[in-house]
Amino acid sequence: MSKLFDRLFNAIDKTAEAGVRQTAQRHGRRSFLAKAGMAMVGTMALPLLPFDRSLGGLALAATAGDSDDENSCEYWRHCALDGNLCSTSGGTLTSCPPGSEASKVAWVGTCRNPNDGKDYLVSYNDCCGRAQVASATFCFRSERERPGYRMGLHNDINWCMANTNKGYHCTVSVVVGMADA
């Protein structure tokens, strides 16, 4: 019985060896190194590539609405907003709900008003100090935002970080000026 196994394993060994030799003859060491090098460089470059945080348009499609309705993510002033609309969370377009306070730091975006075709600077202040409510409308537009490694151009940040109470509640969209032509 053990002789039978010996012969079987020998046959498997020979077949495997022949396969490896054949592959080594067909593909030279240089071509293997070149391909392995390419794969390594590609893998290392992956984290540096910009990434799409728009969920392939899913988030926008789910909240598509009227560009004149401030409770809609499509409202023009919300073009660079990433958060809950305060107007659907007990506050208004420009004021925090009672019991919360405006963040001391903010993200400023540039949005085009479709009614006059002009560009405006819009400050997105987070309202801090209250728990989020499930019924609030969450928007993720973040136009002209850049990925996290471009610090200062990234918007996915809790702007309540400089406040005493750092709990995020919602975001207001306040026009602070006109963008340069």
Catalytic annotation, residues: 107, 126
Return the number of the residue (120 or 172) whose C-beta is nearest ligand ABN.
172
User: Which of 161, 75, 153, 151 is CA-nearest to residue 125?
Assistant: 161
**Nearest approach, Cβ of 162 to ligand ABN (angstroms)?**
12
User: Which of 147, 162, 165, 135 is CA-nearest to residue 53?
Assistant: 147
Return the number of the residue (12 or 133) whose C-beta is nearest ligand ABN.
133
Joined together, the tokens standing for residue 94 give 């420009």
* Phi, psi for 142 (deg, rounded to 5): 50, 40
- Residue 39: which H helix or E strand, with range? helix 29-45
CA distance 179 to 52: 26
**Nearest approach, Cβ of 148 to ligand ABN (angstroms)?**
11
**Nearest approach, Cβ of 81 to ligand ABN (angstroms)?**
8
Joined together, the tokens standing for residue 108 give 């400023």
Based on the shown chain and the rule CB under 6 A, indicate whether residue 168 belongs to the binding site for ligand ABN. yes
Q: Which residues, at least 6 apart from 55, have a Cβ–Cβ distance to it below 8 Å?
A: 140
163 belongs to an annotated ligand binding site: no
Return the number of the residue (120 or 168) whose C-beta is nearest ligand ABN.
168
**Nearest approach, Cβ of 107 to ligand ABN (angstroms)?**
7
Joined together, the tokens standing for residue 168 give 């995020």
Return the number of the residue (72 or 142) whose C-beta is nearest ligand ABN.
142
Answer for which of 80, 87, 120, 126 binds ligand ABN (CB under 6 A) is: 126
Rule CB under 6 A: which of 79-108 touch ligand ABN?
Answer: 82-83
Q: How many CA atoms lie within 13 A of 49 on its CB side?
A: 8
Rule CB under 6 A: which of 1-30 touch ligand ABN?
Answer: none
Candidates 17-25, 55-63, 71-79, 155-163; binding stretch for ligand ABN (CB under 6 A): 155-163
* Phi, psi for 26 (deg, rounded to 5): -70, -40
Chain residues binding ligand ABN by CB under 6 A are 82-83, 126, 156-159, 168, 171
Annotated binding-site positions for substrate: 82, 155-157
